[in-house]
Amino acid sequence: MSLAPAHIAIVGPGAIGQLIYHQLNQYQLNRHQLNLHQHKCLLLWPKAQSAIPTQLTFIDRQGVSHHSHHQGLSLANATKAELATIQLVIVTVKAHQVLSAIVPLLPKLAPNCQILLLHNGLGPHLALKAHLSAQPQPLGLLLGTTSQGAMRINDYTIAHTGTGVTQWGQASAPAINAGLPISASLQQGFSSAIPECQWQTDIINALWQKLAVNAAINPLTALHNCRNGELSDARFTGMITAVVTELVQVAAADGVALNYAELLARVYSVIALTANNYSSMQQDMALGRQTEIAAINGYIVARAQAHQLEAPQNQQLLAAILQRQAH
What residue ranges do the domains of the chain occupy?
6-201, 206-326
Matching CATH number, 6-201, of 3.40.50.300, 2.40.50.100, 3.40.50.720, 3.40.720.10: 3.40.50.720
Name the catalytic one among 40, 80, 94, 210: 210
Mean pLDDT of 125-135: 88
Q: Is position 80 annotated as part of the catalytic site? A: no
* Residues in contact with 306: Cβ distance below 8 Å, sequence separation at least 6, in sequence order: none
Cβ(121)–Cβ(299) below 8 Å: yes
- pLDDT tens by residue, 218-258: 999 999 999 999 999 999 999 999 999 999 999 999 999 99
Q: What is the pLDDT of residue 32?
A: 47
Range 206-326 has CATH code 1.10.1040.10: yes
Confidence of residue 36 (pLDDT cuts 50, 70, 90): very low
Cβ(42)–Cβ(9) below 8 Å: yes
Q: What distance in Å separates the CA atoms of residue 76 and residue 221, rounded to the nearest whole number?
A: 35
Q: What is the pLDDT of residue 34?
A: 37
CA 192, 195, 196, 202: dihedral to nearest 10 degrees? Answer: -60
Cβ(105)–Cβ(131) below 8 Å: no
State the chain's mean pLDDT as an integer: 89
pTM (two decimals): 0.89
